[in-house]
Amino acid sequence: MSRPGAGVIFAGPLVSVATYRRGVYFFLGSVLLLPYLVWAVATAQTVQSDGWRAGLIPLLILVVAGGAVAFLGVLRSLEIAAARLLLDADLPAESSERPSREARLRSALWFALHLVSGGLVGALTFAGIPFVYRLTAWAVPVYALALVYVVAGFGALARQMAPVLLGPSAADQAAERVAAAEAETTKLAERNRIARELHDSIGHALTATTLQVAAAQRVFDADPEFARRALAKIEEVGRAAAADLDHALGVLRGDDRVAEPADAPDLTQLDQLCATVRDSGVVLNYTETGPVAEVPAAVSREAYRIVQEGLTNAVRHAGPGEVRLSVLVTVDAIRIEFTNPVAEGPTRRSGRGLAGIRERTDLLGGTVERGATGGRWRLAICLPRSGRR
């Protein structure tokens, strides 16, 4: 690719629309400077005619008012908008949060430079051209060309300096990166939570449904009433699983209108959960000790999901015999323990269920113990009653 010639480079600022937009920016600065100049001239005349004491108050007003205006947040927003529009400065969109003290200080400095550069360009234009004309008329076009290059140079410099003084500071950028990382972490944590909810709820529903169907098939002819109850239970479990699935999909789609279901199950509903497991033909011995209803709602819901997944695992992998579940609520802890016969055959494999139980327990600051002893599999979870998030 051929490089542009010297003539093109020389004529570039003259024909570039950006040069004249930047000229408008500097003329805007000269207009903003005009009230300050008028007040300064009036103050100087007061000092000359009435002495410095008479001009002290106008001078203080000029300094205080000018400084106050320079630190206004709305002025920073206007300067950012003007720099992006007229200087083509690479500036991010203005944050909705209140500017920091450092940002206000840098924007005040930018405003002062805008006034000074605007005043200089205005003086070179409105005072310089008449002055050159009085000296010699033929030099005016040359002076005008030179002024265009001055504006182009000032504009290029201002475009480079705008991100430094009007852009976010290093601390602000770091804070934004941290906020973005935290938001992403929160989103991932929520997705993981939904994944656990789906695994626990849908997995339990499928297991319970499978067992109910198997039990109903075995006694369909001999005990039709039991088969009807099994089908009704399958319908109930299926509806609950569909509601959980609909809620989870709404969260994953980012629907802000989706809220935690008001009837989300907790430890007070373990009797119903155990009844569903028993209806599927599993021999389940459940004991409950302590004030289960007094457990904080968030902890109670998580503990319910842990019990649900623990029972699902026990039903899937236990050998023939009794499954035991105990829930003990003390002043400062919730202790959940499962025991069931070890199934004959290949060694028990850890699936997503145990991993989900451990994740929930870790989130609440609890502990998990598991292992086979005396021909029975034992899973024990201890959760702090207050919870930890």
The DSSP element (H or E) to which 125 belongs, if any, is helix 101-126
Q: Is the pLDDT of residue 294 over 60?
A: yes
The mean predicted confidence, pLDDT, of the chain is: 78
Higher pLDDT, 19 or 12: 19
Maximum CA extent, the chain: 121
- The tens digit of pLDDT for each residue in 85-107 reads 888 888 876 666 677 788 888 88
User: What pLDDT shows up at residue 15?
Assistant: 80
Backbone angles phi, psi at 266, to 5 degrees: -140, -170
User: What pLDDT shows up at residue 64?
Assistant: 76
Q: Is the pLDDT of residue 327 over 90?
A: yes
User: What pLDDT shows up at residue 201?
Assistant: 63
User: What pLDDT shows up at residue 202?
Assistant: 67
Write out the two tokens for 2: 């051929």
Summarize the confidence of residues 305-331 as an average pLDDT.
85
Q: Break the chain into its structural domains and give their ranges.
A: 6-168, 179-384
Write out the two tokens for 74: 């709305």
Summarize the confidence of residues 210-239 as an average pLDDT.
72
Summarize the confidence of residues 182-209 as an average pLDDT.
64
Distance CA 323, CA 309 (A): 14
The pLDDT-based confidence of 1 (bands split at 50, 70, 90) is: very low
User: What pLDDT shows up at residue 248?
Assistant: 61
Q: Are 377 and 339 in contact (CB under 8 A)?
A: yes
User: What pLDDT shows up at residue 273?
Assistant: 86
Output the CA–CA distances (angstroms, integers) from residue 181 to 174, 177, 184, 255, 372, in the order listed: 10, 6, 5, 21, 42
Backbone angles phi, psi at 284, to 5 degrees: -125, 125
Q: Is the pLDDT of residue 49 over 80?
A: no
Question: What pTM does this model have?
Answer: 0.45
Residue 329 CA neighbour count, 13 Å, CB half: 18
Summarize the confidence of residues 307-330 as an average pLDDT.
84
Q: Is the pLDDT of residue 309 over 80?
A: yes
- Cβ burial of 358 (10 Å; 0-12, 13-18, 19+) is middle
Summarize the confidence of residues 117-130 as an average pLDDT.
90
- Which of 89-98, 165-174, 240-249, 329-338 has the highest mean predicted lDDT (pLDDT)? 329-338
User: What pLDDT shows up at residue 51?
Assistant: 72
Cross-strand partners of 335: 328, 382
Task: State the first-to-last Cα distance of the chain, in angstroms, to the nearest integer.
Answer: 60
User: What pLDDT shows up at residue 299?
Assistant: 85
- The tens digit of pLDDT for each residue in 163-179 reads 888 887 666 666 666 66
Q: Is the pLDDT of residue 5 over 70?
A: no
Summarize the confidence of residues 68-83 as an average pLDDT.
82
CATH 3.30.565.10 fits 179-384, yes or no: yes
Q: Is the pLDDT of residue 128 over 50?
A: yes
User: What pLDDT shows up at residue 330?
Assistant: 92
Q: Is the pLDDT of residue 74 over 60?
A: yes
User: What pLDDT shows up at residue 326?
Assistant: 94
